[in-house]
Structure 1
Amino acid sequence: MNAEQIAQYWDEYAAEYDQEPDHGLLDSDTRAAWKDLLRMWLPPQPSDVVDLACGTGTLTALAAELGHRVRAYDLSGEMVRRATAKTAHFGAAVEVHQSDVSAPPLAPASVDAVLARHILWTLPDPHAALVAWARALRPGGRLVLVEGRWSSVGDDSFDDPDRMPWAGGVRADDLRAAVAEVAEDVHVVQLTDPVLWGRDIDDERYLLAARVPSA
């Protein structure tokens, strides 16, 4: 799948995206649980936060509610349209752009945090993406990554080891090793609470936070 095909896939899925409990966060308890996670792991507000593969902008909105300035990026034009509408009431505090999140248009040392959920495992070169993301962080800036290793992917197009190094998701130990090449103070928190997902889970899901060196 090339970038145009991937964008089309997510364009077509955008109308259904928020129906997943952890996507739309329509349940108040689920929304509160994700907001607490961001409050704990993002830098003190107000900070400049980038939300990569923002989807319909749900985490973008939570970060803005916490008082951050947020730039959100997604490859899908339809996702960008929906995220823009969802966050319009934040005014200039939120910008939403269409971009390949593997190499977003971010100046070096220009943001305080990079937030990315469930995207690294889908990238053809996740290590290069991590390098690009870390480069965009100011000294002491944070990577906040939500990932997992899925017991079932559901869509065979996202489970091709010849195209994707982390087909089927990435284990925490593997992501920890990759992040340690570009950042320090790596922390992994297993996300086992069913409230976060709207159901019980039987696969590995976690948040990884790390800091780029201060000097």
Structure 2
Amino acid sequence: MPDPDSTSISSYWDAAASAFDEEADHGLRDPRVRAAWAARIRSWTPAPPADVLDLGCGTGSLSLLLAERGHRPVGVDLSPLMVQRARHKLATAGFDVQTLVGDASDPPAEAGSSFDVVLSRHLLWTLPDPEGALRRWTRLLRPGGRLMLVEGRWASSDRAGDGTAYAVAPGSLPWMGGVTATELVRALGAFLTDVRVDPLTDPGLWGRPIHDERYAVIAFP
């Protein structure tokens, strides 16, 4: 039985699901934004086919890019309505991709236990124990595997990524509003040996100019 916070968070994202893809970097409906993300995915991932765990997959836009590239994604999201939309998006594009409702911070066993890549985008700020999640994700990597973390620091410490009040009380999420690259690299350095930062300042990725910190971290055991 999920705890009340998990239920509140799931409900929050269920409520956001219908409009989620209206953001340029969520739905990737603009061909220029889609191409920009496809290029980044290509540069961050190993040669296909790779097994990729897409944590906090939302409506499945990155899973779709991965599948189109020839990879084998598995998506996990806490929101049933996000997963429903991801399944529809992937199936409509002709891909049979496993997408599961579950806690991305501690992925369900049905997702699998061995991956070439574990990917998350703008997920860490939603987790009550992000450093614990990072350690668990690392244990899912095969030899030579990598974490791909698309993150940023874009809001005050008590607001969600869009600047609105979030589903849980302020102070209950240590990285609320995002995490700086410096802080994330420090956390990963405790148990990973190779951590690289790729700044994501190109407006083409977001469909607009940005004025906060956006980046990807690619980390290897």
Q: TM-score range by the shorter chain?
A: over 0.9
Where do residues 54-203 of structure 1 align in structure 2 (5 Å cutoff)? 54-88=57-91, 89-92=93-96, 94-106=97-109, 110-151=114-155, 153=159, 154-157=163-166, 162-203=171-212
Q: Distance in 2 between matches of 1:31 and 1:133?
A: 27
Q: Offset of 1:161 from its aligned partner?
A: 5.3
1:41 corresponds to = 44
**1:21-65 CA distances to partner (integer Å, 9 max, x unpaired)?**
100011001000001111000121101001000110000000111
- Structure 1 residues without counterparts, runs of 5 or longer: none
The one-letter code sitting in structure 2 at the alignment partner of 1:44 is A
Q: Distance in 2 between matches of 1:36 and 1:105?
A: 30
Stretch deviating more after TM superposition (183-192 or 199-208): 183-192
The one-letter code sitting in structure 2 at the alignment partner of 1:80 is V
Identity %: 51
Q: Distance in 1 between matches of 2:124 and 2:139?
A: 16
Stretch deviating more after TM superposition (112-121 or 101-110): 101-110
Flag the 1:109–1:138 CA change in 2: closer, same or farther, 3 A.
farther
Q: TM-score normalized by structure 2?
A: 0.90
CA contact (8 A) 1:158 1:167 kept: no
CA contact (8 A) 1:57 1:87 kept: yes
Q: Offset of 1:159 from its aligned partner?
A: 8.6
Q: Offset of 1:19 from its aligned partner?
A: 0.2
Q: Offset of 1:155 from its aligned partner?
A: 1.8
- Structure 2 residues without counterparts, runs of 5 or longer: none
Q: Offset of 1:20 from its aligned partner?
A: 0.3
Q: Distance in 1 between matches of 2:209 and 2:112?
A: 40
Flag the 1:127–1:113 CA change in 2: closer, same or farther, 3 A.
same
Consecutive aligned runs of 4 or more in structure 1 exceeding 4 Å deviation = 106-109, 158-161
Please report the RMSD computed on the Cα atoms of aligned residues, expressed in angstroms: 1.7
CA contact (8 A) 1:22 1:196 kept: yes
Q: Distance in 1 between matches of 2:26 and 2:171?
A: 28
CA contact (8 A) 2:12 2:167 kept: no
